Structures are given as C-alpha cells and as structure tokens.
Amino acid sequence: AQSVSQHNHHVILSEAASLELGCNYSYGGTVNLFWYVQYPGQHLQLLLKYFSGDPLVKGIKGFEAEFIKSKFSFNLRKPSVQWSDTAEYFCAVNARTGGFKTIFGAGTRLFVKA
C-alpha cells in the first residue's frame, strides 16, 4: 500500500528565509508526485507535479521540488519565502497503475512572519 510521510507538521519562518519541506513516500512502482497548497480560506490547488523526465520540477510562485528516486523523496523548496506563502502544503503520490487514487501526506502548516 502507498503511504506518504511529511517530516514537519508546523514550520515558522521569517520572510526571505529559505524553505525546504520534506516528503517521503513508500511504493515500489512508478509514481506521479504532487505538491498541493491550501491558502487560508481557499481550496486545495496544485503547486507542482512530477510525471517523468527532469527530476527537478518548477511550479508556480517560485517553488520547486526534486524527485530522488533512490530515496523515495520529493522535497519542496523555495529560496526566499514571502508572507503570502503562509499556507498548508500537502505532498501526494499517485501510482500510475492504480487509477486516480492519490495518497496525501498529513500536511505541513507554514507560517511566514512579516
């Protein structure tokens, strides 16, 4: 069975600090990987995705993530966070052969101090 582990439940940073949110998954087959973001009062939206090809993927708002297959990891990064990045971030995994079923991590709440 697939599972997703996010290393930090809560992260507090000051503006301009660098961000790295850890995500590890367990699944032996080929996967699609996603990061979703939920801003306060808004619905979940896709931040970035890895499907195939270059393991370093870039998403919206300056976010990027690196897929390291040997470590089953898909960590999210941003060089310099802004107050508007305050949100909850979810890592998610979809097994290519398993329909659309996508397993989500428990989420990381990021608070950026202005």
Partner 1 sequence: KAGVTQTPRYLIKTRGQQVTLSCSPISGHRSVSWYQQTPGQGLQFLFEYFSETQRNKGNFPGRFSGRQFSNSRSEMNVSTLELGDSALYLCASSSLKDRGNGYTFGSGTRLTVV
Residues binding partner 1 (CB under 8 A): 9, 32, 34, 36, 43-46, 49, 51, 90, 92, 94, 98-107
Q: In the complex with partner 1, which residue's Cβ is closer, 87 or 103?
A: 103
Query: What is the nearest approach in angstroms of partner 1 to the Cβ of residue 45?
Result: 7
- Residue 31 C-beta: closest distance to partner 1, Å: 11
Q: What is the closest distance, in whole angstroms, from the C-beta atom of residue 80 to partner 1 in the complex?
A: 26
Nearer to partner 1, 16 or 56 (CB): 56
- State how far the Cα of 113 lies from the Cα of 77, in Å rounded to an integer: 18
Name the residue nearer to partner 1 (CB basis): 25 or 34.
34
Please give the Cα distance from 74 to 86 (Å, whole number): 20
Tell me the helix, strand and coil percentages in the chain, rounded to 5. 10, 55, 40
Q: If DSSP states are collapsed to H, E and C, what string results for 66-98?
A: EEEHHHCEEEEEECCCCHHHCEEEEEEEEECCC
Measured from the CB atom, is 2 or 17 closer to partner 1? 2
